[in-house]
Amino acid sequence: MPFIPHTDTDIRSMLAAVGAEQIDDLFDEIDDRLRGVDLEAIPPGASEQSVSRLMQERAAADAGGLCFIGAGAYEHHVPAAVWELTTRGEFYSAYTPYQPEASQGTLQLVYEYQTMMAGLTGMDVANASLYDGASALAEAVLMAVRANRKSKSKRVLMPAGVHPFYRQVAHNICANQGIVFESVDFDPAAGTVDQAALERWAGEDVTALVIPQPNFFGALEDVDALTDWAQANGALAIGVVNPLSLALLKAPGQWGTGAGADIVVGEGQPLGVPLAGGGPYFGILCCRKTHVRQMPGRVVGRTQDIDGRDGYVLTLQPREQHIRRSKATSNICTNQGLLVTAATIHMSLLGPQGLKNVAATCAANTRKLVQRLTRIEGVEPVFDSPCFHENVLRLPANADAVLEALADKGIFGGLALAAHYPQLDNAVLVCATETKTDADLAAYAEALAEVLSEHAPASASRTSAPSVA
């Protein structure tokens, strides 16, 4: 809707209609001390031309370069058609589809998204959706506490290999509700859940076990054994997945020897959402049908009208504005519809084989990157587990200093892990997606060799400088 300012005549007419002499009279219930706030710190209004130039200058200041950082946000190719369609007015400005008779297009798209996501994860039901992967994990924990009625402890086992930010968000949201998170160590050789350490909880009252696949280090967990352990001990299995990896890996609905994971969450960003400073992204949440009444978010269903035509409706709305507050499972007020739209179009364009090709290329590029980098003297892999498209390498120099020097050369070389895992000093998490060419991998290896020759410890530099094949 265009902005149409009111004329003085319009304003006088409206004030007369409500019996006020001036606009300030409409706000006379607000204390004068609050209405007379000094705004001298705010600069005067700028012209459109000035604002446009300022924004262009700030955009140009963003550093470009080769990005080998993953850690939950991944640089993938997004076909141009994805956002050309997503930003059409019908999707871009669509409001929450409360009225199905006016929202069939939006509802059908969400239904298709749910169908795709349920198929990808092997689960019965998918919602649409949550804010991001981290908050989706928190909601899954709350959901597990509601759904696992046999458990009274509210104890959730959280592997140290779950994304640090996910663990922090889950704690911040859930801890004040009496939920206790107990950390499960990772095997220092494999980088995966230490199943021997897990045995200390065997036979105890545990509400849920979180199972990352792949985990934060990129390592692939023994999801079958972990799922079976959870179900044998009366706990729900919560999978935390990268949706793209599921084009290659076993679906969570098939984990273990039983019925698979109970709840599956993840970050939807790899599916058609470009990297951005902090998002917006969207959270995936799927579950078994037996738990659907405890699921937050919305579920769109397909039905038929009296003429036999397909129609789409909001089947489940567990928000407090729709049902009794005591029965509500969430107060989420958005389904991140625009990002879900992009993901649906992205998956439709690529199809099952396309997703598989992208995932396989990512895995292959990461293997090639690790092979190149570990030819450099002093660079070595930290873990020996199979990985998807991330891996952890230890450097022979201070990781932060090396990454800063690489950035000066236009290469974003990964994430230093010591801040999150003190035992992984000078370790870096690296990632290579399908966007990286052999020339890109070679450029990283060459730059890293140069940087390490400058940052190597004095004793090492006197004997031999790092080399790269």
**253, 123 contact by CB (below 8 A):** yes
HEC per residue, 243-282: HHHHHCCCCHHHCCCCCCCCEEEEECCCCCCCCCCCCCCC
Number of domains in the chain: 3
**Position 59 in a domain:** no
d(CA 138, CA 330): 11
**132, 267 contact by CB (below 8 A):** yes
Which CATH number covers residue 181? Answer: 3.40.640.10
Which of 346, 381, 404 is where one domain is finished? 346
Q: What percent of the chain has pLDDT over 70?
A: 92
Residue 337 and residue 371 in one domain? no
For residue 328, the model assigns a pLDDT of: 64
For residue 243, the model assigns a pLDDT of: 97
Residue 129 CA from chain centroid, whole number: 12
Of the pLDDT bands very low, low, confident and very high (cuts 50, 70, 90), residue 463 is very low
Residue 276 and residue 376 in one domain? no
* Mean pLDDT across 315-338: 65
pLDDT at 449 over 50: yes
What digits encode the pLDDT tens for the residues 89-121? 888 877 777 677 778 888 899 999 999 999 999
**Position 259 in a domain:** yes
For residue 326, the model assigns a pLDDT of: 62
* Mean pLDDT across 346-370: 97
**Position 96 in a domain:** yes
Highest-confidence range of 81-95, 121-135, 210-224, by mean pLDDT?
Answer: 210-224
Residue 240 and residue 275 in one domain? yes
| Contacts with 437 (C-beta within 8 Å, 6 or more apart), sequence order | none
Which of 313, 346, 379 is where one domain is finished? 346
What digits encode the pLDDT tens for the residues 271-280? 999 998 777 8
pLDDT at 286 over 80: yes
pLDDT at 15 over 70: yes
What is the four-CA torsion angle of 129, 132, 136, 138, rounded to 10 degrees? -140
Highest-confidence range of 72-76, 306-310, 461-465, by mean pLDDT?
Answer: 72-76
d(CA 355, CA 353): 5
* Mean pLDDT across 52-73: 90
Residues spanned by the domain of 443: 66-73+351-463
pTM for the predicted model, two decimal places: 0.85
Beta strands of 323-396 (E only): which ranges?
380-381, 390-394
pLDDT at 321 over 60: no
**Position 416 in a domain:** yes
**Position 27 in a domain:** yes
Residue 429 and residue 282 in one domain? no
What digits encode the pLDDT tens for the residues 171-186? 999 999 999 999 999 9
For residue 419, the model assigns a pLDDT of: 95
